[in-house]
Homo-oligomer: A and B are copies of this chain.
Amino acid sequence: MLKLHSYFRSSAAFRVRIALQLKGLPHEIIPVHLLHGGGQQRQPGFLDLNPAGLVPVLEAGGEALTQSLAIIEYLDETHPLPPLLPADPLDRARVRALALEICCDIHPLNNLRVLRFLAHELKVGEAGRDAWYRHWAETGLEAIEARLARRAQAGDFCHGDRPTLADCCLVPQVFNARRMNCRTEHLPTVLAIHDRCMALPEFVRAAPAQQPDAG
């Protein structure tokens, strides 16, 4: 069985949980608590799986797969239905670019280890850290909104009428932005897509609150 090393609040793990649910793949969730015991992701057993010390890790085919987007592409290649990427190469490029715009240009700036470095090493203070968080979340989501609004008529989700890799990334990012009190009310297309996703049971089952380690 597939084993996903996950932390309930990790948006990267959340992306993979959504993909596993959309594919209907049985899997075991192995919680990795990023705060307890100095961070379970920094313990030797976990570092053997992933030297970068980051969740998620998917154990599949005898390998420990890392990086949420690489994991989701693997799931899509090995379990093609329902597809998480469209068929046409230009459309695939658009969906991947939306996903990467979230996974490269927003999330890495705002994850736990980065916020800690700002606070502990650069001593920017709580107000500085929060300004940083909101700046990148809002700037990034505004660019996503601009991109989605151009093609809002094209479907109910980020691309077309069913969820793709892009929606697997968008929903966790909106979840994070709200948790950190970022402005989102000026992002109507983003929010409409988010709400359509969260009306689906697959997204609900993947959400942080439904995880065994939620608390």
Query: Could you list which residues of chain A lie within 8 angstroms of chain B, going by C-beta atoms?
Result: 51-54, 60-61, 63, 65-67, 69-71, 73-74, 77-78, 89-90, 92-94, 96-97, 99-101, 103-105, 107-109, 114, 117-118, 121-122, 124, 128, 131-132, 135, 140, 143, 146-147
Contacts and interface: CB of A to CB of B under 8 A. Distances in A.
B69 A96 contact: yes
A71 B93 contact: yes
Given A52-B101, A52-B140, A108-B108, 7 more contacts: A52-B105, A69-B100, A70-B94, A74-B90, A103-B104, A121-B128, A121-B132
10 contacts: A60-B90, A65-B90, A67-B96, A67-B104, A71-B93, A73-B92, A74-B93, A77-B92, A104-B104, A118-B122
B143 A101 contact: no
A215 B69 CA distance: 36
Contacts of A93: 63, 65, 70-71, 73-74
Tell me how many chains of this kind the complex includes. Answer: 2
Contacts of A118: 122
A63 B88 CA distance: 13
Contact of A108 (B54, B74, B90, B105): B105
A-side binding surface: helix, strand, loop or mixed?
helix
Contact of A89 (B78, B103, B109): B78
Nearest to A142: B51
Contacts of A53: 143
Contacts of A96: 67, 69-70, 73
A26 to B, nearest CB: 18
Nearest to A121: B131
A1 B114 CA distance: 41
Nearest to A127: B122
B132 A117 contact: yes
A63 B77 contact: no
